[in-house]
Amino acid sequence: MTTTILSIQSSVAYGHVGNSAAVFPLQRLGVEVWPVYTVHFSNHTGYGAWRGPLLAAEDVHDVIVGVEEREAMPEIDAVLSGYQGGTQIGDVILDAVARVKAANPAAIYACDPVMGNAASGCFVHPDIPVLLRDKVVPKADLITPNQFELGFLTRTEPTDLDSTLASVDQAREMGPSTVLVTSVLRPDRPEGTVEMLAVHGDGAWIVQTPHLPMKANGSGDVTAALFTAHLLETGDAALSLARTASSMFDLLNTTLDSGRRELQIVQSQDYYAHPRMQFEVTQVR
């Protein structure tokens, strides 16, 4: 049976972030994706200049209600959200989650709590992190923060593996049953590596990959989408972590080799459908 994801995220005409990053990899996996756009910009804001509208919350809500009027909500297996451009979008997303779960109680809400990173600090409106921590994340079943975002959500400073696991446990006490930490930078890791950590059920698993010398806008959006899809399909966090890490490394490496700034989403399509599984996943709990 085909997995269906309602993905409420931003959209750009040029490049790949938000739904413009997540939709095609999901489709290449065989997932049915229904994208709902929160903005429609010419390009992502990392360029410093862009054009296009930030969609009004009521317009985003209308699109979701229109889907509901097609009696399609029972088909949705997950609601996926990422960057939230304004505080009102959080209410729209939570309303959509409630509508989907009323129609299909087995559906999950996967939230990528986008706030910032250790290098740049917060790059969203100051109200957004508080909204995510206090209102949105407690309603999520799966969250995919980086280590910096995990620290804000839990009011902690995760550094090594033990403190990161402790922070994840605090995040799970807030509501989500599954946490994927997308960039773990513990001080005792081998030089030139980066790790991802998945905690699900009673287990925790980590995977280590080479750290590529690049900044890739949209990579977190693809990571959250792939992990959500794999977990829905398999129910196996370790396998989902391995597949996601493999696909993401090859996407980023292909992008680095291209010399281009934007993710090479289409050029890397075989890596989503057929992950090379070149990295070992280790159980740490």
Task: Tell me what pLDDT residue 249 has.
Answer: 98
Q: Per-residue pLDDT tens for 59-106?
A: 999 999 999 999 999 999 999 999 887 789 999 999 999 999 999 999
Please say whether the structural domain 4-283 has been given the CATH code 3.40.1190.20.
Answer: yes
Task: Tell me what pLDDT residue 253 has.
Answer: 98
Task: Tell me what pLDDT residue 125 has.
Answer: 78
Task: Tell me what pLDDT residue 276 has.
Answer: 98
Q: Per-residue pLDDT tens for 11-27?
A: 999 999 999 999 999 99
Fill in the DSSP letter of residue 132.
I
pLDDT at 173 over 90: yes
pTM of the model: 0.97
Contact in structure between 229 and 80 (CB atoms under 8 Å): no
pLDDT at 39 over 80: yes
Contact in structure between 40 and 55 (CB atoms under 8 Å): yes
Q: Per-residue pLDDT tens for 44-67?
A: 999 999 999 999 999 999 999 999
90 φ, ψ (degrees, to nearest 5)? -60, -40
The residue-averaged pLDDT of 149-163 equals 95
Q: Per-residue pLDDT tens for 231-269?
A: 999 999 999 999 999 999 999 999 999 999 999 999 999
Task: Tell me what pLDDT residue 100 has.
Answer: 98
The residue-averaged pLDDT of 123-133 equals 86
Distance CA 183, CA 246 (A): 14
Alpha carbon 266 to chain centroid, angstroms:
19
Residue 192's pLDDT band (boundaries 50, 70, 90)? very high
Q: What is the mean pLDDT of the chain?
A: 95
Contact in structure between 47 and 12 (CB atoms under 8 Å): no
